[in-house]
Structure 1
Amino acid sequence: MSDRIFLMNKGEIVQQGEPEAIYTHPVNEFVAGFMGHYNLVEAAQAKSLFDLEVNSKVAIRPESIYVREQGRQYGEHVSAPRTGIIKNHQLLGNVIRYQVDVDDCELTVDLLNRSSERLLSVGSQLELLFNLNEIQPVRA
């Protein structure tokens, strides 16, 4: 892979930089979707889910959402827990991808597939935590 990327949309450069910087800080929805899967959350939902005041949509990657584990300590950069209900799951080899409904917002959550014992069933409730350092505002 290149050490510098120029991402174009309709003949215009929309973002340039190192691959990691583009992946972690996309400037708009196009870049976020091009560089992998993102959850796009409306500004009003961001307030309710993350307690963030924003004027635009925000993006959070599925791997930046954690399932709360009893006894584990989380840093200050992690949100308060939000209860969600699993709507669907998909086995993707070493990753389990869940579709989770949280406060009428459907989010994709990726967890490492450590064993079949870890598979959470459709309809199960779980508590989600969000890495606030990895939530990015994005333009349309």
Structure 2
Amino acid sequence: MKKLKVSLLFLAAVMSGSAFAQDLSGTWQQIDDKTGSQKAIIEIRKESNGTFVGKIIKVTPRPGYTPRDTCVNCPAPYKNKPILGLDVLTGLKHVEGTNNYDKGRIIDPLSGKIYDTKVRLNASGKRLTLRGYMGVSALGRSQTWIRQE
């Protein structure tokens, strides 16, 4: 009986930790992979269809950079939309049994390019690594995002 209780407690602890780690919902600080500086605050929410969407809720000022107000070089439906409030991350799906998400798309509002994306959430749920790529993941770039409390 004692072994059963210990096993159930262990199982509950593992399941609750992994359930927390699997939720991307929240506010994230985007870090530029080239400069290491903060770029924006992104709010990620889970849609009713189970996919995740990320919206820019704040553009972080950086030395030597003047932020744009609109997505000038972006294709429709993003063209000339305000960057603040823009859903830049769409369609991201959780990969069952892992801390990975894939099949997402992300738009770079500065260049207007749209990339396939996948995400890996670290075990603590406080950092994610987002990989944007065209075609083959090995030819992409990665960014680290930090969960905001």
TM-score range, shorter chain: under 0.3
Q: What TM-score do you get using the length of structure 2 for normalisation?
A: 0.25
Q: Which has the larger radius of gyration?
A: 2
Q: What TM-score do you get using the length of structure 1 for normalisation?
A: 0.26
The structure in which a higher percent of residues are helix is: 1
